[in-house]
Structure 1
Amino acid sequence: MKRSSTLFLKFALIIIGLPVLAICIALMPLIVRNVSDGIEGWDILMLGLLTFMYLAAIPFYMALFQAFKLLIYIDRNTAFSDQSVRALKRIKYHAMIITGLYILNLPLFYIYAELDDAPGVIIVGMAFIFAPLVITVFAALLEKLLQEAIRIKTENDLTV
């Protein structure tokens, strides 16, 4: 594979990570500061939502790091190795953790929707669940395919 395509993907990973970092550093503290000025039931709910979002940022960046490592393995022509399988497995686990955090967060979305009388908020909460769930399934599929390709490659290497 050409180095330019993996360089583009590395750049894309950085571009994906920057908005989340900006939200975690600039936007969420601003929201927390405004919410904490008048703590009520509504505001405690918002702090709970933001806490889960902060917690989800940790496995998000860990998964981005594993994706970056996977691209490095591709650059080194070691894409069909156990290291790549481990990186995909870690991406899968991090995406599962994010999915679990947002599943735990879904009741807060429901309470928020009831308080604000906006049922569409629940759909937004579900979108937060389904995005990492799709990544989990895709990473699991790629992991199985890569394991099978490694198995076939080792069999072919042993064949004269």
Structure 2
Amino acid sequence: MKRGSTLFLKIAVILMGAPIVALCIFFPIVAMKVASHFPELAYLQYPALIGVYATAAAFFVALYQALRLLGYIDKNIAFSDRSVLALKKIKCCAITISILYVAALPILYLFAEVDDAPGLIVIGLVIIFASTVIAVFAAVLQKLLQDAIDIKSENDLTV
């Protein structure tokens, strides 16, 4: 397969990481301003920072694995155990993000309660739902790819 065939997808993956980098840079500033405007929520500043950075770390690991998977496709080794391992890591990262946001829902509830913004909880639920869908999709692709590799190895042995 030609190298440029997955170039668009690689660019899209890199562009998906750009807003998260910006979030990681500017979120501490926002957290300090929120803590100064709402002193009753100041104790939640550090758990929120830990949650955002843990989520970002899992997200970047998943993006790196997606880039590796696209590299395998470029090199015509998409049907390999490396691809299955990359999909497994993407699935684990998506599950980690879901768990982190489920754990963060009480913090989001407290922010929504003070600021009277119920949309924060909806945003948290959307992130949980999206990462769960990604985890299920990666698991299905992982299973299909593993089955295809098994069939390919059986056919290679019979010839």
**TM-score of the two chains, using structure 1 as the length reference:** 0.90
How many residues align? The count is: 159
Q: Which residue of 2 is the match for residue 34 of structure 1?
A: 33
Give the direction of change, closer, same or farther, for the CA distance of 1:38–1:112 in structure 2 (3 Å limit).
closer
Relative to structure 2, which stretch is displaced further, 37-46 or 96-105?
A: 37-46
Mark the runs of 5 or more structure 1 residues left unpaired by the alignment: none
What letter is aligned with 1:80?
A: F
Contact 1:35 1:47 in 2 (8 A): no
Q: Which residue of 2 is the match for residue 156 of structure 1?
A: 155
Distance, in Å, in 2 between the alignment partners of 1:57 and 1:3 is: 29
Contact 2:35 2:41 in 1 (8 A): no
Q: Which residue of 2 is the match for residue 12 of structure 1?
A: 12
Distance, in Å, in 1 between the alignment partners of 2:128 and 2:7 is: 29
Alignment RMSD (CA, Å): 1.8
Give the direction of change, closer, same or farther, for the CA distance of 1:6–1:138 in structure 2 (3 Å limit).
same
**TM-score of the two chains, using structure 2 as the length reference:** 0.90
The within-5 A match list for 1:1-160 is 1-25=1-25, 27-37=26-36, 40-160=39-159
- Per the TM alignment, residue 12 of structure 1 is displaced from its structure 2 partner at its CA by 0.9
What per-residue deviation string (whole Å, max 9, x for no partner) do you get for residues 15-41 of structure 1? 11111101111x212213323446622
Secondary structure of residue in 2 paired with 1:78: coil
Contact 2:35 2:45 in 1 (8 A): no
Distance, in Å, in 2 between the alignment partners of 1:120 and 1:37 is: 22
Distance, in Å, in 2 between the alignment partners of 1:119 and 1:65 is: 33
Contact 2:58 2:97 in 1 (8 A): yes
Give the direction of change, closer, same or farther, for the CA distance of 1:111–1:36 in structure 2 (3 Å limit).
closer
Contact 1:106 1:125 in 2 (8 A): yes
Distance, in Å, in 1 between the alignment partners of 2:18 and 2:118 is: 30
Distance, in Å, in 2 between the alignment partners of 1:36 and 1:111 is: 13
Mark the runs of 5 or more structure 2 residues left unpaired by the alignment: none
Aligned-residue sequence identity (percent) comes to: 53
Contact 1:49 1:108 in 2 (8 A): yes
